[in-house]
Amino acid sequence: MFPEAPIRIAVMLSPASGDGCVEFSRFLAVYYALLDAGAEMLLASVSGGYPWPTRPKRPGGEGSELTARFRSDRHARDDLANTLTFGQVFIEDFHGGFCVGLPGSIWSSNDDGLAGSLIGRFLQAGKPVAVLPSLFDIQPKGAGGGLLIIGDGDWPPSRAVHALLASVPRLSEKERTLP
């Protein structure tokens, strides 16, 4: 018997507003919820590399525990500094995706540089995707052959992470054994 392989999730960091910024505290909540659940992640953003034009402001209050964890986590800081572009992500390498920010239209663009296009490819392949927040266009195909988990701005990212991980199909024992 072989140990079960970790779930691989592509985390897409898409601008949350017209200023081109992804909400840092939301990213941290998703990143650490996936990490704590044992998932492997690859981070992707519009232009690759570090996704913010300037250093995110230090949040006060509830986000400060995750911010402190991030500051002491060299691996997480390296992950964030070395994001791939959306066009460099091969959906075959992942069990599902998670988009933090506004992906735009899912089906009306074939532009590999947009999160919406990457989400559409995940859905066409029948793979689950979670999106926080939920303001985006899913017309005309809805979720296609995949599962689309939508949360609003007030929904805790940990709930979306749990829903995504619970929806990833697991390999059967037969598929895990060597020939």
Q: What is the pTM of this model?
A: 0.77
The predicted model gives 25-35 an average pLDDT of 91
Cα–Cα distance measured from residue 131 to residue 161, given in angstroms and rounded to the nearest whole number: 10
Q: Where are the domains of the chain?
A: 8-176
Q: What's the pLDDT score for residue 175?
A: 37
The predicted model gives 27-46 an average pLDDT of 93
Superfamily classification of domain 8-176:
Class I glutamine amidotransferase (GATase) domain (3.40.50.880)
* DSSP secondary structure string for all residues of 1-51: --PPPPPEEEEEE--SSTT----HHHHHHHHHHHHHTT-EEEEEESSSB--
Burial 15-26 (b: 16+ CB within 10 A, else e): bbeeeebbbbbb
Q: What's the pLDDT score for residue 62?
A: 46
In this structure, the dihedral spanned by the alpha carbons of residues 78, 59, 57 and 149, taken in order and rounded to 10 degrees, is 60
The predicted model gives 138-166 an average pLDDT of 66
Q: Is the pLDDT of residue 77 over 70?
A: yes
Q: Which amino acid is at 33?
A: A
